[in-house]
């Protein structure tokens, strides 16, 4: 058991779209489908509260265990371990959303949180820590719940993003990115991969050109991705218009 918590893990590095990776993605997808299948049950106040605070509890435990592990293996450093990646920051914001059910926060997190979490779980930067290392489980649990929490708000609370919130989120992400760039210069860190691409060749950034040009390419990709996230709501709106022309 201790081997699964070791810093120098030697039982297999993470492999993109390996069997364990694909199965994990399928589990997250299946849970997401269940949220919509059982949406009426999830709208019951006691069930809704149980699921929301269950997610909060798991996320808090996950974050505490994450930082505890880095401290235990004597690797905690502000250059790497601060929750400044957009997907990591979203974990903390999702906790607030699950507690408050704030609609404006949902509109931001639907694009920034769901978008970054999907990118993270599709192309994780886990290095040597493949299944069944602790880091593998912690990563997919925390980022998976970000995805599921956004879907829960849609299924149970009937929240919807808007085109306006898409562009507001894009603006806020850029402001946050400028701040992170300054922090990276100060700490000699690489949060949001603004100073260099992640290692391992498992990122969309690998096809967007060299630094700093991939940062500009990522802007266009982000807009396209945000619109893809909005597309289901646009389609649903058009369907409703056809059913009720008045």
- 202 pLDDT above the threshold of 80: no
Can you give the pTM of this predicted structure?
0.95
Q: How far is CA 40 from each of CA 35, 43, 142, 234, rounded to the nearest angstrom? A: 9, 5, 25, 23
What are the start-end ranges of the H helices in 73-101? 86-100
What pLDDT, on a 0 to 100 scale, did the predictor assign at position 201? 52
DSSP state of 73: T
Least confident segment among 157-161, 194-198, 201-205, 213-217: 201-205
Q: How far is CA 18 from each of CA 37, 199, 206, 222, rounded to the nearest angstrom? A: 28, 18, 19, 26
How far is C-alpha 126 from the geometric centre of its chain's CA atoms? 14
- 90 pLDDT above the threshold of 70: yes
What are the start-end ranges of the H helices in 38-158? 39-42, 45-72, 86-100, 103-122, 134-157
Task: Report the 10 Å Cβ neighbour count for 143.
Answer: 25
The token pair at 102 is 């704030």
241 against 103, higher pLDDT: 103
Alpha carbon dihedral 26, 28, 29, 32, in 10-degree steps, equals 160
Average pLDDT over residues 120-146: 95
* CB hemisphere CA count around 39 (13 angstroms): 15
What pLDDT, on a 0 to 100 scale, did the predictor assign at position 204? 79
């Amino acid at each position: 058991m201790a081997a699964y918590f070791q810093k120098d893990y030697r039982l297999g590095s993470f492999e993109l779209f390996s069997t364990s990776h694909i199965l994990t993605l399928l589990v997250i997808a299946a849970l997401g489908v269940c949220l919509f299948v059982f949406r009426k049950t999830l709208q019951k106040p006691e069930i809704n509260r149980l699921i929301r605070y269950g997610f909060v509890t798991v996320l808090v435990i996950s974050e505490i265990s994450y930082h505890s592990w880095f401290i235990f293996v004597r690797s905690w450093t502000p250059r790497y371990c601060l929750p400044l990646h957009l997907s990591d920051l979203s974990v903390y914001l999702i906790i607030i959303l699950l507690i408050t059910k704030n609609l404006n926060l949902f509109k931001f997190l639907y694009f920034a949180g769901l978008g970054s979490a999907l990118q993270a779980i599709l192309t994780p930067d886990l290095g040597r820590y493949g299944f069944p290392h602790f880091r593998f489980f912690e990563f997919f649990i925390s980022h998976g719940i970000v995805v599921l929490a956004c879907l829960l708000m849609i299924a149970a609370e009937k929240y919807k993003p808007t085109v306006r919130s898409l562009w507001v989120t894009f603006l806020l992400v850029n402001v946050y990115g400028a701040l992170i760039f300054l922090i990276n210069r100060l700490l000699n860190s690489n949060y949001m991969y603004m100073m260099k691409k992640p290692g391992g060749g498992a990122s969309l950034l690998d096809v967007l050109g060299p630094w700093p040009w991939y940062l500009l390419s990522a802007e266009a990709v982000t807009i396209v991705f945000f619109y893809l996230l909005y597309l289901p709501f646009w389609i649903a709106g058009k369907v409703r218009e056809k059913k009720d022309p008045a």
